[in-house]
């Protein structure tokens, strides 16, 4: 006769003794990788379960992927602390949790005064089987027309409000940091300055976008 599985119960929270932290559903955690040479995995806890005696604790998680783990790989505009919220769900032992972390929204991350080791950000959801992103497009900036990488220094034009990499406007990072005011090449003439108020709204509404799902394959290499 097949022995019935012991019933399991959902926990509101759980104290992970070896890291002295309390976890609950919705928390983001760092988990031990199978290959110790790789960085810790990052996941979001969906549910915590234990056996009837409160032991054998398992966490149902939704994995975050790093850009290099995606089908397209890491690209120029990906930040060093960027993650994608995937559609990959799993069940892991609570013993594999090595710490708690925070996955910020992109907007919140860019406003941090200081980025800690356990701070990450996410601006895309990722389909692990198709390689598709949601949203599948992102605004681009600068003459190079690349999405914003929060790791890169950029300066904002006071005319069109676009952002520029110092190197793309033939400027060093040190020179950019000393700027009090900046007008890009298109906005530097008096005629362009006079038009800036009337054209500001249309410029913002016509923001160029980068389509993530239709990049040429050569871009990934």
Domain with 168 in it: what CATH number?
A: 3.30.40.10
159 found inside a domain: yes
In a domain, 104, yes or no: yes
Q: Tell whether 202 is covered by a domain.
A: no
Are residues 48 and 15 both part of a single domain? yes
Residues 91 and 37 in one domain: yes
Instruction: Tell me whether residue 34 is in a domain.
Output: yes
The CATH number covering residue 128 comes to 2.30.30.490
Q: How many CB atoms lie within 10 A of CB 15?
A: 11
- What residues contact 80, with CB distance under 8 A and at least 6 apart? 151
| Same domain? 131 vs 31 | yes
The number of domains in the chain is 2
If asked whether residues 20 and 108 sit together in one domain, one would say: yes
The predicted pLDDT at position 54 comes to 75
Query: Is the domain of 117 the same as that of 145?
Result: no
Residues 92 and 166 in one domain: no
Whether 110 and 163 map to the same domain: the answer is no
Task: Give whole-number Cα distances, 169 to 150, 166, 186, in Å.
Answer: 18, 5, 12
Q: What's the first-to-final CA gap in the chain, in angstroms? A: 56
Query: In angstroms, rounded to a whole number, what is the distance separating the alpha carbons of residues 12 and 97?
Result: 17
**46 and 120 fall within a common domain:** yes
Domain identity same for 144 and 133:
no
Within a domain: 27: yes
For residue 171, the enclosing domain spans 139-196+209-220
For residue 135, report the phi and psi dihedrals to the nearest 5 degrees.
Answer: -70, 160
Same domain, 22 and 91: yes
Buried b (16+ CB within 10 A) or exposed e, 74-89: ebebbbebbbbbbbbe
Query: pLDDT under 70 in the chain at which residues?
Result: 1-6, 189-221
Claim to verify: residue 166 and residue 120 sit in the same structural domain: no
Boundary (domain end) residue, out of 113, 137, 161: 137
Residue 126 and residue 161 in one domain: no
Query: How do residues 23-44 score in pLDDT, each as one tens digit?
Result: 999 999 999 998 989 999 999 9
- The residue from 119, 137, 155 where one domain ends is 137
Residue 3 lies in a domain: no
């Amino acid at each position: 006769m097949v022995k019935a599985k012991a019933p399991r119960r959902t926990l509101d929270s759980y104290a992970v003794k070896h890291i002295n932290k309390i976890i609950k559903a919705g928390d983001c955690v760092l988990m031990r990788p199978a290959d110790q040479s790789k960085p810790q995995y990052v996941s979001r806890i969906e549910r915590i379960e234990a056996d009837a005696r409160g032991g054998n604790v398992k966490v149902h998680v939704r994995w975050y992927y790093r850009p290099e783990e995606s089908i397209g790989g890491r690209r120029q505009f990906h930040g060093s602390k960027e993650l994608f919220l995937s559609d990959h769900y799993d069940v892991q032992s609570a013993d594999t949790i090595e710490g708690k972390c925070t996955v910020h929204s992109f907007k919140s991350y860019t406003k941090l005064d200081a980025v800690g080791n356990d701070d990450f950000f996410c601006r895309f959801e990722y389909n692990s089987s198709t390689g598709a992103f949601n949203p599948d497009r992102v605004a681009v900036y600068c003459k190079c027309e690349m999405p914003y990488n929060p790791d890169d220094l950029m300066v904002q034009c006071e005319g069109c409000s676009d952002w520029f990499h110092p190197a793309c406007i033939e400027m060093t990072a040190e020179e950019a940091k000393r700027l009090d005011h900046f007008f890009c090449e298109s906005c530097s003439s008096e005629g362009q300055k006079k038009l800036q108020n009337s054209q500001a709204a249309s410029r913002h509404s016509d923001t160029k976008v980068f389509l993530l799902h239709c990049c040429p394959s050569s871009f990934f290499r």
